[in-house]
Amino acid sequence: MLTSPNKESPTFGFICNGNHGIFIKLVRGQADEPSVYGFSDDFSLWRQRRNELYDMLGVLRHFGAIVTRGEVAIAA
């Protein structure tokens, strides 16, 4: 995320270990300001009350729509 070429817009990431997933947002600070990370709640496939797979897929689908519309660029 720190090596993303687009330094003006936030960078988004997703970390998943198979059972749990978390979304990350990085907003870079200017030269004299620190970068700020934001973390989502933990999405789990093993919650007692409800499986959160569909919530996680909904967020990923929303990101896909944003990329398809060209509102953000993908950096590999």
Q: Which is higher by pLDDT, 6 or 52?
A: 52
Report pLDDT for 8. Answer: 81
Q: Residues with Cβ < 8 Å from 5, sequence gap 6 or more? A: 75
- Confidence check: pLDDT of 44 > 70: yes
> What is the secondary structure of 38-50 as a DSSP string?
EEPPPEES--SS-
State the pLDDT at residue 12: 85
Q: What is the average pLDDT score of the chain? A: 84
**pTM: predicted TM-score of the whole model, two decimal places:** 0.72
**Is the pLDDT reported for residue 39 higher than 90?**
yes
Domain boundaries, the chain: 11-68
**Average pLDDT of 30-52?**
87
